[in-house]
Structure 1
Amino acid sequence: MKHSLKLSKITKEIGPISHLYLPNGIYKENIVQNLQQILEKLKASNPSLDPTNKKNSEIKPVVFKCDECQDKGWLTYTVPIWHENFGDLIVCPSCKKSAHNPEIIQKRIEYSNLEAMSHLTFENIQSKGNLEGKDNVEKFREALKVSKKYAKNPSGWLTIQGPNGSGKTYLAAAIGNQCIQNGESVLFMFLPDLLDRFRSVFQNPETFLYDDLLDQIRNYPVLILDGISKTSNSTWASEKILQILNHRNIKNLPTVITTSENISNLDPYLQSRLKSNNTNQLINTGNLKNTYFLQNNNFGQIPKSFKNFSFENFKVSGAQGSAAPQSVVSNLTGSLKTAKEFVSEPKDTWLCFWSDNTTGVGKTHLAVAIGNELL
């Protein structure tokens, strides 16, 4: 009985003791006593755990500009895991009030991945875009107008579609930079970099929890994904992207997407999300077929003398005809197959036809045939 009373007193002082350990109060009392001894040993072996250590008292605490969010710019809901808002991020109200504070803005820029592109703003952009031609200039000006409006009040999705070099990334970065100036928290990710980050974390889980990274990205207040492409992604990568975008679509979180592909070539599920409701906008930055050079100077066009070069009339025997050795026939047959595969599913890679100081073996024929097929 004596031990039971003493155990009760200890329990009140330090909190409940688990009943999973030992069956009677005497041993539980000893467990508490041994715990104190363990803590003393830990302090002796690691002085940093001892608050009375002089060196520890000299360590200066971290001072944040905003105690509410610790300078992150966002907060999370304190709700149970089954709540619909669990894991969602919201803009820190205290930081938003001081949106024009240079130090707060700089913190947001560092978190956003836009530090190297902070000069890409609406003030510096050329309103006519990068592509020549009246149609392209009009398309880019309309895209610029929509982008400026979106940046003032980011809501729903904005998809920026157009050929490489037409200004998609510039518009996306300008939107991100403007949102930061307005007090929003932004994350800008080039898609291949994002997938590399996922792979790195997945392979080295001790550096960062994979699920935590996924939750942060899919719940970020404003997310910008640059360079979405169906053909460059594996099944695994596509699943990760769709997980992020599906979550953001359900929550209707501000999301900006850029792609150089025709929307009809993207994943069918993604297509349906892009066209799902009135909050999702699609803008176009131009078309290479409408450029001034293609219209007026025949720049980049296939010469008329090459128009008949096709896969159908390509000779796998080359210039040697029936006298070609089997090695040549085999090599050219493989080259023809590769060229056809390249056309059926173009990738973000280069295809080079090479021969050792030999002309008339079909390099130009295959290259032009690819061009004829794609045009």
Structure 2
Amino acid sequence: MTTLNGLQDRVAAGNEAAVDQTGETVPVCPVCQGFGFYTVDVAPEHPDFGAAFPCECRQRSHRRRTLERIHALSYLEAVQDKTFSSFLQEPPGYGETARASLREAHRICRVFADRPTGWILLAGITGCGKTHLASAIANELAAAETPVLMLTVPSLLDRLRATFAPDAPQSFSQMYNLVESVNVLVLDDLGAQSSTAWATEKLFQLLNERHVRELPTVITTNLPLWEFEPRLQSRLGDKHLVNQVHINAPDYRVWSSDPGGETWADLNSLDLHQGETFDTFDVRRAERRNGQQDRLAMVCQELEQWLEQPRGWLVLAGAPGSGKTHLAAALANRWRNSGRHVLFASVEDLKDYFRRTIQADGAAAARRTAQIREVSFLALDGFSDTWESVRRGSGWTEKRLRSLLEYRFDAGLPTVITTHVEPERWERWFQHRVFNARKSRYFRLEDPPEAVR
């Protein structure tokens, strides 16, 4: 009868080397002699006597197969050039706000790649650098042989659906379990998927399981948090687990196609109003009457509530000195402090910008106007005398301004407008939009005392 030791001797003698699946000759493990398990030479009374232990070579082999399987699913080869060293933290021509945002996002992602814990939600407009940083994390982890799976959300859902095909190499449960439990999951472009009931439910189940187990996860999106369905919104908004990183930078691809040209960030005058916040807005100023104080306190409260899920227009009307610009800046500062894009500009500055860009390059002007149309939060200050020319619709810049406002109204994009012009002087198209209760909020601030005008 062949004993275990005798069998091991024969294997050791006859298999000094073995052939792997690729046809290459590899040495047999000196610990387990190719069995994958080993025993220890201990006395019979020892608790490990007779026990077989998995060999390290078996664990390495299993880990290698797992990495190969995950790598085959990922699209890392398509983004292998996206690294931390190739990420531009300070693109030439960018404003300081954008550069600071890129530096901070790079720092946070670099720390995560060194020690992946918790979740990162990278948010911002298309082309701001979200996917580059997510890819850099995945490439760094893959180089360190950490199991990391990177997919776009639409691609992930397509792969899960494909498992139902009769000739699918993997079952749905095999694919789902792999994605659900992989050490680090990187999902690009959340919100770009088709919103079928099946897709919504499977995506939530997947992310909810990883949320419960606190598995390291990186997600990119160009949607604001409030646009996700409530359950997913709750998981993504968990501040104890999720580090929300909002990249406040323009679309690099558009900018690089027109280097040296102005961007909407050049228009931004919010830095001139950085001290104008809700905390510094004094509703109890002595010269205000008690009724005014109570009314302004209520307005501030409603504005802060609107900012939790902002949609459509918000119009602040009142005489000079009533506080409308301060409150518009307070809204914009609160939005920017959360790391998101905001453009705060006077109407006159915006019109001048339109004039300059169209004179320089019509195609570039169209691209830059499109950026302004899509900015996540727009505050336009000072519809005063300018409003008269907008009413008449005279001139190219006025028509472009009206087109911009109409687009943002129809799209429900957060837009704050201040004006001291009385409603009866507004053009009908503007009146209808301001007083549309579904898409607009209107606040009339009481005239200030003569002493503060």
TM class by shorter chain equals: 0.5 to 0.7
**1:163 and 1:237, CA in 2 relative to 1: closer, same or farther beyond 3 A?**
same
- What is aligned with 1:217? 179
| Rounded Cα–Cα distance in structure 1 between residues aligned with 2:171 and 2:193 | 29
- What is aligned with 2:217? 255
Q: Identify the match of residue 273 of structure 1 among 214, 217, 235.
A: 235
- What is aligned with 1:62? 21
- What is aligned with 1:228? 190
Runs of 4+ displaced beyond 6 Å: 63-68, 95-98, 103-108, 339-342
- Residue by residue over 1:181-227, the C-alpha shift from the partner in whole angstroms, topping out at 9 and shown as x without a partner, is 22311100011111111222224465421111111111111100000
Query: Which is richer in strand?
Result: 2
- Residue by residue over 1:36-55, the C-alpha shift from the partner in whole angstroms, topping out at 9 and shown as x without a partner, is xxxxxxxxxxxxxxxxxxxx
Q: Identify the match of residue 142 of structure 2 among 180, 183, 188.
A: 180
- Structure 2: gaps (5+ residues): 1-18, 30-57, 256-261, 268-352, 355-367, 374-396, 414-428, 434-438, 441-453
**1:232 and 1:110, CA in 2 relative to 1: closer, same or farther beyond 3 A?**
closer
Helix, strand or coil for the counterpart of 2:163? helix
| Rounded Cα–Cα distance in structure 1 between residues aligned with 2:92 and 2:72 | 28
| Rounded Cα–Cα distance in structure 2 between residues aligned with 1:145 and 1:191 | 25
Amino acid at match of 1:141: R
Whether the aligned pair in 2 keeps the contact of 1:168 and 1:285 (CA below 8 Å) is yes
- 1:97 Cα deviation (Å)? 11
**1:277 and 1:209, CA in 2 relative to 1: closer, same or farther beyond 3 A?**
same
Amino acid at match of 2:218: V
- 1:166 lines up with 2:128 in the alignment: yes
**1:67 and 1:145, CA in 2 relative to 1: closer, same or farther beyond 3 A?**
farther
Q: Identify the match of residue 77 of structure 2 among 101, 115, 118.
A: 115
- Residue by residue over 1:312-363, the C-alpha shift from the partner in whole angstroms, topping out at 9 and shown as x without a partner, is 9xxxxxxxxxxxxxxxxxxxxxxxxxx9997369xxxxxxxxxxxxxxxxxx
- What is aligned with 2:88? 126
Helix, strand or coil for the counterpart of 2:164? helix
- What is aligned with 1:305? 399
| Rounded Cα–Cα distance in structure 2 between residues aligned with 1:160 and 1:131 | 23
Whether the aligned pair in 2 keeps the contact of 1:230 and 1:266 (CA below 8 Å) is no
Amino acid at match of 1:255: T
TM-score (ref. length: structure 2) = 0.45
| Rounded Cα–Cα distance in structure 1 between residues aligned with 2:237 and 2:80 | 31
**1:165 and 1:129, CA in 2 relative to 1: closer, same or farther beyond 3 A?**
farther
- Residue by residue over 1:16-45, the C-alpha shift from the partner in whole angstroms, topping out at 9 and shown as x without a partner, is xxxxxxxxxxxxxxxxxxxxxxxxxxxxxx
Helix, strand or coil for the counterpart of 1:202? coil
| Rounded Cα–Cα distance in structure 2 between residues aligned with 1:341 and 1:240 | 33
Amino acid at match of 1:115: E
| Rounded Cα–Cα distance in structure 1 between residues aligned with 2:245 and 2:186 | 15
| Rounded Cα–Cα distance in structure 1 between residues aligned with 2:196 and 2:27 | 41
- 1:267 Cα deviation (Å)? 2.0
- What is aligned with 1:150? 112
- Structure 1: gaps (5+ residues): 1-59, 69-91, 313-338, 346-364
How many residues are paired up?
A: 237
Identity rate, percent: 25
Whether the aligned pair in 2 keeps the contact of 1:114 and 1:177 (CA below 8 Å) is yes
Alignment of 1:1-375 (within 5 A): 62=21, 94=60, 109-110=71-72, 112-128=74-90, 132-204=94-166, 206-229=168-191, 232-288=194-250, 292-294=262-264, 295-296=266-267, 297-298=353-354, 299-300=368-369, 303-308=397-402, 343=411
| Rounded Cα–Cα distance in structure 1 between residues aligned with 2:160 and 2:144 | 29
